[in-house]
Amino acid sequence: MKVNFANADAINDMNISGFTQNVSFAAGNWSDDEIRQVDLALGFMHRLLDSRVLLRTSSGAELTFTRVGTQTEGPGLDGLNGGGTIRFMDTTFTSGEDDVMTVVFHEVGHNWDEENGKFEQWKALSGWTQTDPHDSTRFVKGGDQDTNWWHRRTANFVQNDNYDQQNPYEDFACAFSAYMMNRAGKVFTRGPGISAAPDKGTFIDNFVNGLGS
pLDDT digits (tens, 9 = 90+) for 159-174: 999 999 999 999 999 9
pLDDT exceeds cutoff 70 at 158: yes
What pLDDT band is residue 13 in, cutting at 50, 70 and 90?
A: confident
Confidence of residue 82 (pLDDT cuts 50, 70, 90): confident
Q: How big is the chain by its Cα radius of gyration, in Å?
A: 17
DSSP state letter for 173: H
Closest by CA to 185, choosing from 49, 54, 41, is 41
Tell me, what's the pLDDT at 187? Answer: 93
Sign of CA dihedral 133, 201, 108, 92: positive
pLDDT value of position 127: 98
Q: Residue 213 has what pLDDT?
A: 63
